[in-house]
Structure formats: structure tokens, C-alpha cells
Structure 1
Amino acid sequence: MPERLPDLTVDATRVAALALGEDGVLDLTTAVTVRKPVPGQAVLEARTPIVVAGLLYAETTARAAGCSVTWVTGEGGAAEPGPIGQVRGDLAAILRAERAMLNILQRACGIATATRAYVRAIAGTRCQVLHTRKTAPGLRLLDVAAVVAGGGVIHRLDLAHTVMVKDNHWRALERDGRSVAEALVAARARGAIACQVEVETEEQVIEASRAGADRLMVDNQTPGMVARWSELARGLQPTIAIEATGGINLGNARAYAEAGADFISVGALTHSVIAADISLELA
């Protein structure tokens, strides 16, 4: 699995073109309200406390529309209600870029803010917060970058980054008369760096641990069961990592961390984003 994000410049350019392109080539309202070139500036303002994220994507979108942005708070910084950036450019360009920029910032800051809440909930434990692949289509890197800005850790960016045997893969192996151990041997032969296995029963915990899985994903179990299975797995393979997944929320995250999970993965960070309350106001 990658430990750091790739260069996001190309992806930010792609997302900017997509975001602006969705609004078409003509801003009819601006065309009839701004009748000549006029220099303008606007303030990007947070209305609630947030963790700032998505700055490269928002700035790239602004530049693509012909504007520039100066940020008050850096990526991953905590911002109280108030200005987080200033946009300058032709007034018509600012109006054209407004919604595209806000869509990006509101989503990214919402993800980062939620992630930071989970990081704080498990502070003082060895556990780390992971994203999942439950991201918006076309916005995978933006979403993951926002999780990282909030203090989370990269899980896998795509299907080629690691082997992850989940419930349907178990069923596929059973239909083929093969074991998880055979699948992991095949994975190592293909150069897989890390092999993870989702487990839903004690029998699967034993089989996957003996097969040499690097990490067990304990799915939809109580913290008590996570503690029990962690002890069982580490008795068979001392270096194995434990990831708790499924049904994890801010109310129970710490219980899973204290039960022995090295990681908690939270799909809600990206699939149920609460957009940050950010506005753009002309100065």
C-alpha cells in the first residue's frame, strides 16, 4: 500500500476542468449582470470551525477560471469561523468559479473535519484512522487527500495497491475448491507487498492468520470480539495487524481502538460527507 499521496497536480487539473465544464461555456446570468471587465475580489469564509483541505484543487479551479487565491490557513490546519482565503481576478471570472470552488472546498473540508474528530476520539492509543474506497466517482484522490489532511492514513488508492480478500472472494475461493493460503501464495508470486483478509468467523481468523495474512479486517464485530480475535490471531502470527471495520462511529471508535485494533476504517468519512459550511462573498 502507498504510504504517501502521489503528486496531485495532474488530478487537480482534471477535477478543475470537470467542475468548470459541468457549468457549460456560457454563464448567462453573469453575462447580463457584469457588462464589462471589472477587477474583483472575494473572501472565502468558514461559518463553523473546520479542518481545511482541498486547497490545491480549489486553487487550480480558480486559476483555470482566470483567478488567483491567497490562503489564510494551510492544508490540514484548523480554522475558526472567519476568512480562510481571498480570491482575486476579473469579477466575471470569480462568479464563474464560485460554485465549482465551493463544491470542492465544502466536500474536502467536510471530510477532513470528520476525520479529525475520529483521530481525536482515539488519541492516546496506537490505532490509526483509515479511509475506504467508498469515495465519490472521479474524486478518489481529492477524498483521500482530505482524509490525510484530517490526520487519517492512506488505505489503498485502487485495486492494484494491495491484495484484500473480502467476503465475496472467500466465496469465490470456495467455489474453486481453493484456500486463502493458496490465494496468498499466488499473491506473493505476483509481487504483492501486503495481503489483507476480511474475517467474519473465528475459523476464518485462524485460517487467515496461519496463511500468513499481513492484516485481518474484522468486519462488523463488537469491540469484545475484536479483542478476542486479536489475541487469537497474534498468538498464531505475532506481527499480524488488526483492522476493525463496519459499524464504527464516533461513539464507539475508542472502544475498538482500546480493544486492540491497529486501524479502524470508516466508510462514512467519504460516503456520507457533511459538507463544510463555507461561503464566497464579494468584497
Structure 2
Amino acid sequence: MSEHQRANQMTGLLGRQAIEQVVDAALAEDAPFGDLTSQTLVPADAAATAHLVAREAGVLAGAEVFELAMTRLDSAVQVISEAVDGERFEAGDRLATVTGPARAVLQSERVALNLVQRMSGIATITAEYVAAVAGTSARVVDTRKTMPGLRALERHAVRCGGGHNHRSSLSEAVMAKDNHLAVLPDVTRALREAAARLPHTTHIEVEVDRLDQIEPVLVSGVVGTIMLDNFSTDDLRTGVAQVAGRALVEASGGITLETIGDVARTGVDIISVGALTHGVRSLDVGLDFEVGS
């Protein structure tokens, strides 16, 4: 997929309501009683022009989030985007221009930057993981290891980097992990009984951490995905052969940029990577004000 196609694919995927909820909460947290510095130091009629500039190369995510954060306090603030989500940029590139009342721009600055920096950091690292599996059929997906309250934005950022999303919440699909299986005396029977109580459209995934757990899961006949957790690459190949197309095979657990290529070449269908959102480094993007504007 070209950068232009990926950028177009991002349009409309992140709902405005989700953005508003995050931005409103962040603005209220940052200035519960207003921006004391700007209110006492900056004249009410002062205007500002500022440019969102990349300090390092990366992939943009959060253009709409940045715009809403900058304009939420005062509709007189205007943002002209000069790059779109999913687009690669280099250090020094201008990504957006902001104009409007200086007080509102200054009060919104930190929140807007925090969000676009984190989202672009996620998109950038995701693009690196996706590039590392090029030439294979493996799909790179995120996990639920997201910052509380930011999941919608962070999952969007993963898509901007060319990755895909796993289930968005515990309510979206059945995913039986090792702790679930530990309390089940008969895994095969339990899976069949669970499937009988679920709508036929509900996806069922089961995590295993040993090769001998695969068959009791698959013979249930109701599992759509089997996750091989913390398997060696040799065991992943064995597991893929054992599943033999009876379900999608997902690899997970401790996967890094250095190892994901080898994992992908074992023939797994999906590789889930918590590092896409967990502990990600925010990208260095700054807001440069024009002097005397």
C-alpha cells in the first residue's frame, strides 16, 4: 500500500466523539481554572502564528486530534494541516500552521503536542515493525496494552503506521488465556459449551503456551484463532504445521524489532506486539511561534 493510499484509509476511522472526550478531559486537567500565565501576561487582543514542525523523521498520526485540541477553546483559532495521517515526514518538515488569539493557542499548545507526539510515536514504531515483516503474509497487530482513556487514539495511530487492530475491549470477542484454561477440567467441552451460548458471529480465540495444548483446543471445532504465546521460532513452525489451516495462528509474547522477521517467516498469520503502544517513545514534534506575530 502506498503512503497516499494509507493516508486515505485513515480518513474517518477515528470518530470525532472519541477525540472530543480525550481532548476535553486533557484541557480541563491542564487548565482547570484557565491559563494563569497567559491571562495575566498576554494581551487579550494579541494574535499568534505558529508552525507544527518535525524535529525528527517519522509517520504522522493525530492531525485531526491536533486540530481539535488547538481550536477547542476558541473557534477563532484556525489550523491548516500540511500533512495527513499515515504520511511520512522528515526532520524540519512543517506539518501544520496555527493562527488565532494568542491566549487560546498558548493554553492549548501542550495538550495538542502531547497527543500528536504520542500518536506519531506509535505510528512510527508500527511502521518499523510492518517493514520488518515485508515479504511475508503476517499481519502486525496491537494489543490492549494502551494508556487508559487513549485506546481509540492509539489504535488509530497503529493503523496510521500500517498495522492492524486486535480486539478493542473485553466485550468484543472471546479470548481464553492461560489463566482461563487453568480452571477448566475439560477445555474442549468448555469451548463447545461457550460457543453454544454465544451469537454465531462471535469470534473465539484461545491462547496456548505448549504444543500439546493445541489439539484439545482445535478439536472443539469452534476456535477461529489460536495464539501461540512465547513459543520459540522452531515451535512456532511446528505449531503452524499442527494447526494446518484449521484456525488462524497468532504469535505473541516478547516480540521485538530484531525477532519479528524470524517470527513472520514461520508462517503465522498474525503477530501481536504490545510494544506498539506499551512504553512507546513520543516523537519529537514542536510548535514554533513566529516572533512578533
In the superposition, the TM-score normalised over structure 1's length comes to: 0.93
Q: Measure the CA separation in 2 of the matches of 1:226 and 1:22.
A: 46
C-alpha distance in structure 2 between counterparts of 1:180 and 1:210, whole Å: 7
Give the deviation of 1:164 after TM superposition.
Answer: 0.5
Q: Could you tell me which of 235, 238, 262 is aligned with 1:255? A: 262
Tell me if 1:194 matches 2:203.
yes
Letter in 1 for 2:34: L
- Structure 1 residue 42 and structure 2 residue 50: aligned? yes
Give the 5 Å matches for 1:113-132. Answer: 113-132=124-143
Find out whether 1:281 has 2:291 as its counterpart. no
TM-aligned CA deviation for residue 198 of structure 1: 0.4
Distance 1:264 1:59, change over 3 A: same
State the SS of the aligned residue for 1:251: coil
Counterpart-to-counterpart distance in 2, 1:150 and 1:59: 20
Residues 1:141 and 2:152 are matched in the alignment: yes
CA distance in 2, matches of 1:41, 1:188: 61
1:22-61 equivalences in 2 (<5 Å): 22-23=29-30, 24-61=32-69
C-alpha deviation, 1:88, in angstroms: 1.4
Q: TM-score, normalised by structure 2?
A: 0.89
- Matched residue, 1:100: 111
Equivalent residues in 2 for 1:202-221, closer than 5 Å: 202-212=211-221, 213-221=223-231
Asked if the contact 2:209–2:229 (Cα under 8 Å) also holds between the matched residues in 1, the reply is yes
Q: Give the direction of change, closer, same or farther, for the CA distance of 1:92–1:104 in structure 2 (3 Å limit).
A: same
Amino acid corresponding to residue 58 of structure 2 in structure 1: I
Cross-structure match for 1:223: 233
Aligned length: 274
Match in the other structure for 2:4: none
Identity %: 35
Amino acid at match of 1:209: L
Partner of 1:111: 122
Contact 1:214 1:241 in 2 (8 A): yes
SS in 2 for 1:271: coil
- 2:183 counterpart of 1:172: yes
Residues 136-172 of structure 1: CA distance to partner in whole angstroms, max 9, x if unpaired?
0000100100001100111111112111110111123
Letter in 2 for 1:107: R
Note the C-alpha offset of 1:247.
1.0
Contact 1:163 1:187 in 2 (8 A): no
Aligned partners of 2:188 and 2:219 also within 8 Å: no
Equivalent residues of 2:49, 2:289 under 8 A apart: yes
In the other structure, the counterpart of 2:191 is 183
After TM superposition, give the deviation of residue 239 of structure 1 in Å.
Answer: 3.7
User: Match of 1:282, as an amino acid?
Assistant: F
For the residue of structure 1 that corresponds to 2:183, the secondary structure is helix
Following superposition, the deviation at residue 35 of structure 1 comes to 2.2
Q: What is the alpha-carbon distance in structure 2 between the residues aligned to residue 43 and residue 158 of structure 1?
A: 36
Superposition deviation, residue 179 in structure 1? 2.0
Matched, 1:269 2:279: no
Q: Which residue of 1 aligns with 2:83?
A: 73
Match of 1:86 in 2: 97
Separation in 1, partners of 2:192, 2:85: 38
**Shift in Å, 1:253:** 0.4
CA distance in 1 between counterparts of 2:111 and 2:192 reads 44
Seen in structure 2, the aligned counterparts of structure 1 residues 259 and 28 have a Cα distance that, compared at 3 Å, is same
Unaligned runs of 5+ in 1: none
Mapped to 2, the partners of 1:117 and 1:206 lie a distance apart of: 34
Distance in 2 separating the partners of 1:180 and 1:252: 32
Query: Contact 1:184–1:195 (CA<8 Å) still a contact in 2?
Result: no
1:160 to 2:167 alignment: no
Q: Give the distance between the partners of 1:190 and 1:78, measured in 2 at CA.
A: 42
